[in-house]
Structure 1
Amino acid sequence: MRSTRGKHPIELSDIVFRADPRSGDPAEVGRLARSTGFFSLEEVAVAVELIETRMEKGGDSGYHFIFAERSGQMVGYACFGPIPCTLAGYDLYWIVVLDEFRGRGLGKRLLARTERVIAAAGGTRVYVETSCRGQYEPTRAFYERCGYRLEAVLKDYYAPGEDKAIYRKVLVGENTPDRAGEYERSGTQGSGDLGTAP
């Protein structure tokens, strides 16, 4: 999401994606969240709690993940899940990319894969919540570039003067057999719980 000017090139061709959590993932998720400089200690703890809950309860937790790895190291991940009491609505809870990989297209690839998994599971709408604070302007611009529309702003949600922005994307025509097959051919490892390849 940041400019890549002045950065050494990093190849993304050797990025491997997987869906199944592993024992070391909570520590890696915490490391990634801290690397961004965006999240408080409390927010990092929530990120770790979600992956721990997923590992404890499996698909029944309602939390699903896609992890991106390079040379055996986690460099990004997305966390998402169905919204209870809605028809085909999904929340994107977290999408985090290691700081040195930001602005290189990895976040866009993670988001696209997440949308394909959601569509293959029958999801038709994805919702994202983020802060309206100036620090998050690149985050909001990222979602807008990826086709998300601002649907609502909740005033003073996080704190006085810090509003919450709610974005939505409709996955029109995404949940077709062809698109599900595209996900199966994409190289994501693991069975997952949302229609991924066995």
Structure 2
Amino acid sequence: MIRPTIPEDTTALIALADATGLFPPSGLELLRQMLTNSLAKDSDTAPFWITDDDREPVGVAYCEPERMTDSTWNLQLIAIHPNRQGQGRGRKLLHYVEQALMVRGGRMLLVETSGLPELERTRGFYLKCGYEEEARIRDFYATGDDKVVFRKVLNAN
């Protein structure tokens, strides 16, 4: 079941993020702060969190509008618990986010990720979901770690 994230999900979602191994302790604390701060807001233009719930949160997505753009959004985070990956959950969660954005009048969704070899599977996921690699900024995160930007048009208004 995919649903809006509620404040009570915070602990489980931090544990999920930790299980992915992609977040250092400082990143987990930042994620906790982001969850706490943004779950207090509710509007069509506010960032939003979506949770994949299988009797407990097993997936999460966070999306926010790009400032000074015409209905462009950025998927800042999407994660599925490692023991639930490979079941199509990430694709369903991403599709749900896209549908929610179209209802809000979203025109385009951007996704940024690392160019490191260990994230090749992640980049392949976005390509399979209909995203195109739009840009690559060399050495963005660190020397040898490029930022790769993917783009998908949602509403061609």
TM-score, scaled to structure 2: 0.92
- 1:149-188 to 2 correspondence within 5 Å? 149-172=132-155
What is the RMSD of the two structures over their aligned residues, measured on CA atoms?
1.8
Structure 1 stretch 34-43 or stretch 74-83: which is displaced more? 34-43
CA contact 1:50–1:63 (8 Å) conserved in 2:
no
- What is the aligned counterpart of 2:46 among 40, 45, 62? 62
Q: CA deviation at 1:172?
A: 4.0
Write the letter of the residue equivalent to 1:126.
Answer: L
1:33 to 2:17 alignment: yes
* Matched-pair identity in %: 32
Write the letter of the residue equivalent to 1:19.
Answer: P
Q: Distance in 2 between matches of 1:18 and 1:34?
A: 21
> CA separation of 1:106/1:60 partners in 2, compared to 1, >3 Å: closer, same or farther?
closer
Q: Distance in 2 between matches of 1:33 and 1:59?
A: 25
The aligned residue for residue 185 of structure 1 is none
- 1:2-151 to 2 correspondence within 5 Å? 16-22=1-7, 24-59=8-43, 62-71=46-55, 73-151=56-134
Q: CA deviation at 1:59?
A: 3.7
The aligned residue for residue 8 of structure 1 is none
Q: CA deviation at 1:21?
A: 1.5
Q: CA deviation at 1:135?
A: 1.2
Aligned length: 157
Structure 1 stretch 77-86 or stretch 52-61: which is displaced more? 52-61
CA contact 2:71–2:106 (8 Å) conserved in 1:
yes
Computing the radius of gyration from Cα coordinates, the structure with the larger value is 1
- SS of corresponding position for 2:149: strand
Q: Which runs of 5+ in 2 are unaligned?
A: none
> CA separation of 1:102/1:20 partners in 2, compared to 1, >3 Å: closer, same or farther?
closer
CA deviation digits over 1:138-175, x for unaligned, max 9? 100000000111111111111111111011001146x9
Q: Which runs of 5+ in 1 are unaligned?
A: 1-15, 176-198
TM-score, scaled to structure 1: 0.74
Write the letter of the residue equivalent to 1:65.
Answer: W
Q: CA deviation at 1:119?
A: 0.5
